Structure 1
Amino acid sequence: MKTEAIWQALIDRLDQMQETGQSADFWLRDDDAVEPTAALHRLLDLTERFSVPLTLAVIPAHTDERLERCLAGRRDVSVAVHGWSHENHALAGEKRQELGSHRPGGTVSDELRAGYARLEALFPAFFVPLLVPPWNRIDAEVISGLGAIGFGALSVFGPERSGKAATLLRPGLQIINTHVDVIDWRGTRGCRDHAQIVRDILARLEQVVNGGGSVGILTHHLVHDENVWAFLSKLFEVTVTHPASCWRKVSDLIGR
């Protein structure tokens, strides 16, 4: 199916949802924010132009007041905790992970507590108690202590009610995942085929219609090529004004 047709398929599905009184919440999570860059300014300007709320997963150890000044005056921006330093502590041959069992649990918890406190102090107007684990990986033992630090929600990648994500559930901790990644990490490391991304959105919409939840879009502004920017612009154009879709701040989803 050509890209134009697949976009029309998304519009048609949203039209069907509207006709049956259904709707879907979308949210946007962008990872690895540290400092003002041309790419970050472009993302901020794009989301502001379309009035799309943006959640930035910020790396606490590497950010500072420059990012706070960059965000000052921006509307609908949230800052989440992206681990501590985004450093891999996994053994050779293992998948990369910062929040794993490779170090004493107290060390990991202390870093997360420091990251929480640092971002809350740096970004008081934007901070949300949401943990975004680097590489979307976190051990269950680490999760058990998140509530004591202050976290109310956790965001990884994949369906909330099936697979690995379901094992992360803890009393008092909400899972608010992303479900559609725009980057072809295992291939070109640029934008994935637009038609395939839209198919993923359509598949997630079916999960939302049948079981609730939201459609989480995952981006990484530092590696965006022009095809990513074009995709996001088209996605926002299609969804922002449609009655069956609503772009939410992540704080609207926490505690729902």
Structure 2
Amino acid sequence: MSDRADWQPLRDELQRWSAAGRKAKLWFRDDDAIEPTPALDRLLSLANRFDVPIALAIIPQPTGKALAVRLAGESRVTATVHGWTHQNYAPGDTKKQELGLHRPQAVVLDELHRGFDKLEALYGKQFVPLLVPPWNRIDDALLPHLAPLGYRAVSVFGLAKQAPIGLINTHIDIMRWHGVRGGLPHAEVIGRLVEELRIRFDGHDEPIGVMTHHLVHDDLAWDFVETLFEETADHAAIEWRPVGNFVY
């Protein structure tokens, strides 16, 4: 577990926002949902306890009715499209990518069309027409073709750039993906969050996206999520928003 003193820089930054009478817009995205699991239950419990809306990036091909039934009564959850199979098609010496041009463009777009239709049918009003590319990577050549499929926005990682479709990005990743996997030290993640808040304070209006992966969380990662919600859910300077607020 992390020392709560690690969170003081966030408290100080939020006090600056409060003193200025301002609110920072945050949203929460969790990736790789397929089926009901104890880890998903734990995430949903935290969302309900602290009244924080959650955007689940669901992998369409392997998912089914079981997850939709589990989520049907979860008013804080929205369903978004996480590629099709979350399969890597990039050569071994390059960064992983499902939505690249390693296959015919028509094949990739057909899968994205099927993913959209499947999740829209399963989730109805819980569905948000947002594409979350696996590994946060999608070839730019595909972007102009997404709106005709029904997509209204894409979510990758980092400050949004000009694109032919809306970008609702994440900026904070709580996980360590190289070496020994698990949650990053709280102080490191808080440092990144404070940096993003300072960018917004200086005039950048993009909502801050926090990205998690419930299936691979260790105790440090779970403790971060719970502490983040404790520190921010009722704070005068923070507004947790459903991702649909930014897509429509």
TM-score by length of 1: 0.93
Q: What is the CA distance between 1:3 and its match in structure 2?
A: 4.3
Distance, in Å, in 1 between the alignment partners of 2:65 and 2:189 is 35
Distance, in Å, in 2 between the alignment partners of 1:108 and 1:16 is 46
Q: What is the CA distance between 1:75 and its match in structure 2?
A: 1.6
| Residue of structure 1 equivalent to 2:166 | 174
SS in structure 2 opposite 1:70?
helix
| Residue of structure 1 equivalent to 2:13 | 13
Are 1:248 and 2:228 matched, yes or no?
Answer: no
Give the alignment partner of residue 184 of structure 1, picking from 172, 176, 196.
Answer: 176
Are 1:223 and 2:216 matched, yes or no?
Answer: yes
State whether residues 6 and 199 of structure 1, in contact with CA within 8 Å, keep that contact through their aligned partners in structure 2.
no
Aligned pair count?
Answer: 246
Distance, in Å, in 2 between the alignment partners of 1:124 and 1:26 is 24
Q: What is the CA distance between 1:92 and its match in structure 2?
A: 2.4
Distance, in Å, in 1 between the alignment partners of 2:95 and 2:222 is 29
Q: What is the CA distance between 1:186 and its match in structure 2?
A: 1.2
Give the alignment partner of residue 205 of structure 2, picking from 209, 212, 217.
Answer: 212
Distance, in Å, in 2 between the alignment partners of 1:215 and 1:239 is 13
Give 5+ residue unaligned stretches, structure 2. none
Are 1:239 and 2:232 matched, yes or no?
Answer: yes
In the TM superposition, structure 1's runs of 4+ consecutive aligned residues that sit over 2 Å from their partners are: 2-6
Distance, in Å, in 2 between the alignment partners of 1:27 and 1:203 is 16
Give 5+ residue unaligned stretches, structure 1. 161-165
Q: What is the CA distance between 1:5 and its match in structure 2?
A: 3.2
Distance, in Å, in 2 between the alignment partners of 1:243 and 1:253 is 20
Distance, in Å, in 2 between the alignment partners of 1:9 and 1:137 is 31
AA partner of residue 70 (structure 1): R
Distance, in Å, in 1 between the alignment partners of 2:3 and 2:13 is 15
Q: What is the CA distance between 1:201 and its match in structure 2?
A: 0.4
Q: What is the CA distance between 1:94 and its match in structure 2?
A: 1.4
AA partner of residue 232 (structure 1): V
Deviations 1:189-216 (A, max 9, x none): 1010000000010001011222111111
